[in-house]
Every structure is written in C-alpha cells, then in structure tokens.
C-alpha cells in the first residue's frame, strides 16, 4: 500500500497500479494532488522537471477508467506520445486498454472509441474534434502534458483551442494540466478553473551552475575545479562528467552541424576512457544502425564507436530510438542534441551541459533562448531511478559571460507563458474550423468562443478585433464561409478544408493551381503547386543554388500552375517552392539520372538527412491528398493524376516500379534492383526461379521465398521466416507539425 494511503474518494483499484509501478511513497506534489483528483477537480501541476508529474496524470486517469470512464492524454510531440503510450500500456495488466493516435488528420478514427485511454498529439486531438468524434464528449479526464507550450508560436494555438473547446463542450471532464515551472501557472489555473499545485520539490538533487575556464560555479557560488585534460572547456567538462565511469553527459547545441562535428571530435578522444565491455556494446549499436552511404549515418556510426552520438531531426525515428536506447543503457556516454526533440523525452544524464544559449531567429541571429527552455534542458539531468544526483551547467565562452549567465539562467525565474492565438495564421485556421465544424454559428458565438480562450484571459479582445474582421473578410471572399440570415455558415469548401486540416491559405493556392491551364500538365506541375502551399516548410534557396534553381524553373515554365511573381520577396519564396519540388522530383526519379535518387544523393544535393526526407515526404503526401480532395470538390477531374503522383512520392519511385512495390518487404531500393535485373513485373517474377530471385542484390533467399509465397496464390506457403527485416516502404503515417 502506498505510504499514508490514498484518499477515500479514490477508486480502490488505483492502489494496484502503485504495486505495478513498484512505488510505495508519493512525492509531496503528488501527495497534494491526490485529494483534488479524488474530488474530480481540475488541476494545474506546475512543478520542476523530474518531479513525477506523469504519475499524477496516470492516477487521475485510472480513478476514472476504473469507473468506466475514458481518458485522453494530449502531448505536443509524436516522440513524447510514443513514450507516454509505452508507459501507459503497462496498465494493460490491470485491464486498461490504451491506444496511440497521431497522423492522418482526415479521419475520425472510430476504432478509438473502444479504448479506455487514448494518447494523441495536440494536432490529432484538434483534428478529432473537427471530425466531431462523439466519444470525445464522453471523456472523463483530459490530460494536457507540457501545457506551458501554450507559449509556443507553432503549437500553442492548437493546444489552446482544444482546451477551450473541451471546456465548453465537455465541462464535466476533469482537466489535468502538467507544466514546467513558469512565471504564471496561477493564470493558467485561473483560466481553466483549476486547483494549482506548485512546488519547488525535486526528488533528485539538481545542482545548476556555470562552466567557465576550468571551473564550475554553482548557484550558491561554491566552486569546483575540473582537470584540464585537453585545454578546451567543453571537452574537459564532458570528460570530468564521465570520469568515475558511471556518469553520462548530455550536451545541448543549437545547430545540427555542430551536433555532428562535436560528436565526431569527442569520439576521437573518448575511447581511452572506455572499457572493453563498453566498446563491445557500442560496436553492437553501431552495427544496428546498419550500412549506409549517407554521410550523416556514417558519422553517427563513427561517433557511436567512440562512445558518443548525436540526436536531431535529420535522423530517422529508428536511428533516434537506437541512440536513445544506447544512451539510456549507458553504453553511449556522451550525447550531443538539438533541444527541440530532446527536451521533451526522458534522456537521463548525470550532467547536462548547455553549450549554446542563443539561437538563430529571423529578427536576431543570436537571439537568447528563453529561461523556460534552458530550464527544460537542465531538467534532463538527475532523473529518479537513473542517477543519484544531477548537474546542469551552462557554458560561458569568456569570463565576462559568467555573471550574465548566472543571473539569467541559473538564478533567473522562467518567463510567463503568453497566448499566441492572436496571430493571424492561428486565427485564420481556427476561426474557419470553428465555423466549419459548427462549433460557432454566428458572430456572437464566435466572440463567445474567443472570450473563453487563454488569449482573452490575458488580453483585451479589442486588440484582435480588426485582425478578426480582416480574417472574416478573407474567409468570405475566398468562399470558405458566407452569411445566411444572420448566421455564418461554412461552404462545402470551408468544411472540407477544416477537415483536411490545412491552412485556408494553402487551400487558396491549391484552388488557383487546379484552375490553371498550363501548356503542359506534368508531375512537376503538381509537385510545385503543393510545394507552394503554406503548410509545406520549403527548402531554402541559398546563394550558390540560386542560378541553378531559377534555370530549372524557367526551363519548366510551361508546366507551372502558379504564375511566377514579379515582387522580389515573393519571387524568392517562389524559388524556394521550386527547389522543394526539385527535391520531390529527385525522390521519384524524375531527374537527370532517370532513376530514384538514393538517400546519399539527396543528402549531397539538398543537405537533408533520412529524418528530414521522411518528414518532408509525409507533409507532401498530405498536401497531395488535400489537392486530390479539392480537385474532386471542384470537379476538376485531376484526382487520378494526383493520386498517382502521391503514390509515387509516398514510395519514392518511378511509375514502372508500382507493381513491384505492392509486394511485402519490397521497398524502393529492392524494387529498383529487381527491375534492373529484368524482373520488371509480377508475372515475370512469378515465373522466375528462386535462384534468380535470390541472386538479386539485397534480396537473398528469405525475401525471395517470401515474395514467391505471396505471388503463388494457389499452393501452400513454401516456408516463412518472420525475422527477415522489412524494407522501409516510405512513410507510414503522416504528421504535419512534428519534428519541425
């Protein structure tokens, strides 16, 4: 039984979960949360990193699920969704059914109805609300993890809108919001009618400080010398962090490039500090990364062999998981990471070093990173169950920086969270979705909705009145909504666009493209049109490829669906979308080589890693889907053509490989090899001998057998081998905003 017992109102079976987790006593903020949870109150839990916030949410979930209720757990990132899903799935031992849902935003995902707990990204939750999935109205608990991200320009407004909607539509559901320590958690609690649990408690002692020269100065001004091994402060700080053989160091840097180069440099120094056992484990991990000609993968393998690794969005999900696992297992001693992904997930380290405290923003190339974010990075150090204590250091590059960093990041208090819903793109998207899904039916209801947002809780709404006015004019003139006897109703277009989960501006671009009559309609025409939508983050044209991209554009001028702009800034943006389309053309073999570009060719031409390719392809497939749907809506008859392009982009193939790709285990690389070996269609393959099939590079006997079994519709399977790795057949589920 958990020490002190649980309050009377709590469902008695919740105790069983504590046995499962092997937890017999609660941390103080957890204890303080039990009574309000049992009473069904809303909670905002604003406590430091690693203080066990998840457990508070899990208890609230179980307390309702054991009474037959359902719960939704909303997280900002796909990576975090997977982590929470795996933690929650442990509860299946208590009969709790847990589902993970992300991607495919044009789907009401009915299967989710049969689960007790659904873990979803904010975008997915928003899209489910837009589809008016009925079970959402029966939810008994809604958890919002990392709720301080209301402050985030990209994701904040979506999170704000879903919380506002739930508050309106399902006011009886218990809201549990988990937040980092922020300047105004009381304000969020006020907005959500929630009890605030705030505390400075941290189960594992975390010493914060500044690393400068060969000295660490901690928050209490005590100092500790580190040995000068290499003469470089960062390197010495890292070596000091692992010197006793059990510690690990996580270093945050602000660019991918320095992530990679620092890891490689470290890998040259580190092996002398590693045991034979470590080296064997590292060899295993590096082996699992697989063979590849892609430079970034080669770098990763070299780094891992030297006990270090890097972690950023250029790596694929699989590669990142390998790195995360290697670090959690303590085989990888030093990890260099960009903050976006790493700050959200459990990457425990004895010592965290933040190397860069500025980052590039368009308005300031050396913009200081907010305290809130630095504290999140600090918080990766000293996690319960992993380390007995933690240290979080920020690197000063010169003595004068020491005091500034101490004051701002060590002693400083995190900023206040400010609503970002007032931005035009956010208003445009969310106002349309409000009308289109009938959540608001006239201007009064629209203002009522706006008044119940966090934005309105913090600001006077007159500040956005003229922006709202402009957006209504835009939505009307582009025929997304219209007035009808005092009501605002959305048109079929408006409804479709809201459910497609695309920016109304993207829909305007796609509509213009569908209405165009180019001299030649080609694959490039379509790929360029989707690349020009606002939902696609384009590839930027740098000075050196300016001529090459514009040359390409003019040589394909007849195929363009959207006119080349006169205005200089718009022209530059247009070139970016041409470059993005050029990448997609390479991917599907519409290039000078006449063959699907390999990952290393794409890396050389566009500087994109496997993870970038994946996320760009996912978004492109999504926009192609939107274009197909809009073509149907407008009766343009282009749906089939767009579908074909979409299938090719999804798989990364020329048209001729389509039949081969339908086979299990055959992706773009193997399909190309089969085709080039003369096995150009399924009939020829059916007739081919096992020997011939197996002899094709990258196929081998097991896959050849599997293919033959699949092609032989009559006989018994020859033999099955389940261990054969499946070739990656392109993206599985699309995600628009993750890994931005």
Ligand X SMILES: Nc1ncnc2c1ncn2[C@@H]1O[C@H](COP(=O)(O)OP(=O)(O)OP(=O)(O)O)[C@@H](O)[C@H]1O
Question: Which residues would be at the binding site for ligand X (CB under 6 A)?
Answer: 23, 26-27, 30, 49-55, 180, 346, 379, 383-385
Smallest distance from Mg ion to CB 506, Å: 33
Smallest distance from ligand X to CB 122, Å: 16
Instruction: Select 278 or 373, whichever has its Cβ closest to ligand X.
Output: 373
Residue 384 interacting entry, from ligand X, Mg ion, none, C-beta within 5 to 8 Å by type: ligand X
Smallest distance from Mg ion to CB 395, Å: 26
Residue 23 interacting entry, from ligand X, Mg ion, none, C-beta within 5 to 8 Å by type: ligand X
Of the candidates 118, 136, 166, the one whose C-alpha atom is nearest the C-alpha of residue 454 is: 166
Instruction: Select 84 or 333, whichever has its Cβ closest to Mg ion.
Output: 84
Instruction: Select 388 or 717, whichever has its Cβ closest to ligand X.
Output: 388
φ, ψ for residue 247, nearest 5 deg: -80, 160
Q: Are strands 358-361 and 364-368 parallel, antiparallel or unpaired?
A: antiparallel
Binding mask 277-316 for Mg ion (x = CB under 5 A): ----------------------------------------
At how many degrees (to 10) do helices 317-328 and 276-289 cross? 170
Give how many residues touch Mg ion by CB under 5 A. 1
Smallest distance from ligand X to CB 357, Å: 20
Residue 50 interacting entry, from Mg ion, ligand X, none, C-beta within 5 to 8 Å by type: ligand X
Smallest distance from ligand X to CB 416, Å: 18
Residue nearest to ligand X (CB): 52
Cα 737 from Cα 534, distance rounded (Å) = 12
Residue 489 interacting entry, from Mg ion, ligand X, none, C-beta within 5 to 8 Å by type: none
Q: Are 163 and 175 in contact (CB under 8 A)?
A: yes
Q: Can you say whether the dihedral through the CA atoms of 183, 187, 189, 191 is positive or negative?
A: negative
Retrieve residue 135's tokens. 């079970």
Cα 345 from Cα 312, distance rounded (Å) = 13
Smallest distance from Mg ion to CB 96, Å: 19
φ, ψ for residue 200, nearest 5 deg: -100, 5
Contact partners, residue 180, CB within 8 Å, separation at least 6: 46, 48, 49, 146, 148, 372, 375, 376, 379, 414
Retrieve residue 29's tokens. 């903020």
Instruction: Select 271 or 384, whichever has its Cβ closest to ligand X.
Output: 384
Retrieve residue 513's tokens. 């493209």
Instruction: Select 37 or 180, whichever has its Cβ closest to ligand X.
Output: 180
Instruction: Select 53 or 124, whichever has its Cβ closest to ligand X.
Output: 53
Smallest distance from ligand X to CB 27, Å: 5
Q: Spell out where 221-349 has E strands.
A: 223-225, 249-252, 308-311, 334-337
Cα 529 from Cα 517, distance rounded (Å) = 13
Tally the residues of the chain.
740
Contact partners, residue 228, CB within 8 Å, separation at least 6: 214, 236
Binding mask 532-571 for Mg ion (x = CB under 5 A): ----------------------------------------
Residue 591 interacting entry, from Mg ion, ligand X, none, C-beta within 5 to 8 Å by type: none
Residue 439 interacting entry, from ligand X, Mg ion, none, C-beta within 5 to 8 Å by type: none
Quick check: helix, strand or coil at residue 206? Answer: strand
Q: How many CB atoms lie within 10 A of CB 637?
A: 10
Residue 26 interacting entry, from ligand X, Mg ion, none, C-beta within 5 to 8 Å by type: ligand X
Smallest distance from ligand X to CB 76, Å: 11
Instruction: Select 268 or 385, whichever has its Cβ closest to ligand X.
Output: 385
Which residues, 30 to 69, sit near Mg ion by CB under 5 A?
53
Instruction: Select 1 or 221, whichever has its Cβ closest to ligand X.
Output: 1
Q: Are 77 and 7 in contact (CB under 8 A)?
A: no
Residue 263 interacting entry, from Mg ion, ligand X, none, C-beta within 5 to 8 Å by type: none
Quick check: helix, strand or coil at residue 97? Answer: coil
Cα 76 from Cα 735, distance rounded (Å) = 12
Residue 548 interacting entry, from ligand X, Mg ion, none, C-beta within 5 to 8 Å by type: none
Smallest distance from ligand X to CB 25, Å: 6
Q: Are strands 70-75 and 117-121 parallel, antiparallel or unpaired?
A: parallel
Residue 524 interacting entry, from Mg ion, ligand X, none, C-beta within 5 to 8 Å by type: none
Smallest distance from ligand X to CB 276, Å: 30
Q: Which residues here bind Mg ion, judged by CB under 5 A?
A: 53
């Amino acid at each position: 039984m958990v020490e002190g017992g649980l309050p009377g109102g709590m469902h008695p079976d919740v105790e069983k979960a504590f046995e499962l987790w092997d937890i017999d006593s609660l941390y103080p903020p957890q204890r303080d949360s039990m009574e309000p949870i049992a009473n069904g109150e809303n909670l905002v839990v604003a406590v430091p990193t690693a203080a066990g916030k998840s457990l508070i949410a899990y208890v609230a979930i179980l307390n309702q699920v054991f009474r037959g209720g359902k719960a939704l757990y909303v997280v900002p990132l796909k990576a975090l969704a997977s982590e929470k899903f795996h933690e929650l799935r442990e509860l299946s031992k208590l009969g709790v059914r847990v589902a993970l849902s992300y991607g495919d935003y044009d789907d009401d995902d009915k299967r989710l109805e049969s689960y007790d707990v659904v873990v979803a990204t904010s975008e997915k939750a928003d899209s489910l609300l837009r589809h008016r999935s009925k079970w959402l109205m029966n939810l008994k608990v809604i958890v919002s993890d990392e709720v301080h991200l209301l402050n985030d320009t990209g994701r904040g407004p979506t999170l704000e809108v879903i919380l506002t909607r739930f508050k309106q539509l399902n006011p009886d559901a218990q809201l549990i919001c988990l937040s980092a320590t922020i300047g105004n958690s009381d304000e969020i609690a006020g907005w959500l009618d929630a009890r605030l649990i705030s505390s400075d408690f941290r189960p594992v002692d975390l010493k914060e400080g500044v690393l400068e020269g060969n000295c660490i100065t901690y928050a209490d001004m005590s100092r500790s010398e580190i040995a000068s091994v290499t003469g470089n402060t960062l390197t010495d700080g890292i070596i000091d962090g692992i010197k006793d053989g059990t510690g690990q160091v996580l270093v945050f840097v602000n660019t991918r490039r320095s992530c990679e180069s620092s890891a490689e440099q470290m890998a040259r120094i580190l092996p002398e500090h590693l045991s034979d056992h470590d080296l064997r484990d590292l060899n295993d991990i590096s082996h699992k990364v697989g063979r590849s000609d892609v430079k970034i993968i080669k770098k990763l393998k070299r780094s891992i062999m030297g006990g270090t690794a890097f972690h950023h969005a250029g790596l694929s999900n699989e590669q990142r998981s390998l790195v995360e696992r290697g670090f959690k297992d303590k085989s990888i001693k030093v990890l260099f990471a960009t903050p976006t992904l790493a700050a959200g997930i459990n990457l425990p380290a004895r010592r965290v070093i933040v190397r860069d405290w500025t980052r590039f923003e368009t308005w300031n190339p050396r913009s200081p990173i907010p305290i809130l974010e630095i504290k999140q990075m600090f918080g990766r150090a000293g996690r319960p169950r992993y380390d007995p204590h933690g240290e979080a250091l920020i690197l000063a590059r010169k003595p004068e920086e020491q005091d500034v960093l101490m004051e701002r990041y060590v002693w400083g208090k995190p900023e206040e969270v400010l609503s970002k819903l007032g931005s035009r793109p956010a208003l445009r998207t969310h106002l349309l979705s409000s009308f289109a899904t009938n959540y608001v039916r006239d201007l009064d209801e629209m203002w009522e909705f706006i008044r119940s947002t966090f934005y309105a809780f913090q600001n006077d709404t007159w500040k956005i009145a003229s922006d709202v006015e402009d957006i209504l004019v835009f939505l009307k003139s582009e025929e997304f909504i219209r007035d009808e006897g005092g009501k605002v109703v959305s048109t079929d277009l408006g409804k479709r666009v809201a459910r497609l989960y695309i920016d109304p501006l993207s829909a305007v671009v796609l509509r213009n493209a569908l209405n165009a009559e180019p001299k030649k309609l080609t694959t490039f025409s379509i790929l360029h049109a989707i690349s020009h939508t606002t939902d696609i983050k384009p590839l930027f044209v740098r000075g050196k490829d300016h001529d090459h991209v514009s040359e390409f554009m003019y040589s394909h001028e007849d195929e363009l669906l959207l006119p080349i702009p006169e205005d200089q800034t718009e022209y530059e943006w247009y070139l970016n979308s041409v470059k993005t389309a050029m990448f997609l053309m390479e991917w599907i073999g519409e290039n000078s080589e006449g063959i699907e570009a390999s990952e290393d060719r794409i890396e050389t031409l566009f500087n994109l890693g496997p993870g970038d390719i994946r996320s760009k392809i996912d978004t492109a497939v999504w926009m192609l889907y939107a274009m197909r749907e809009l073509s149907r809506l407008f009766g343009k008859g282009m749906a089939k053509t767009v579908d074909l392009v979409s299938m090719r982009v999804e798989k990364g193939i020329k048209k001729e490989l389509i039949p081969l790709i339908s086979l299990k285990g055959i992706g773009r690389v193997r399909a190309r090899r089969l085709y080039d070996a003369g096995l150009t269609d399924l009939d020829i393959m059916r007739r081919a001998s096992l020997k011939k099939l197996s002899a094709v590079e990258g196929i081998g006997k097991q896959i050849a057998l599997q293919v033959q079994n699949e092609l032989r519709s009559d006989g018994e399977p020859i033999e099955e081998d389940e261990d054969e790795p499946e070739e990656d057949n392109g993206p599985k589920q699309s995600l628009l905003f993750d890994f931005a």
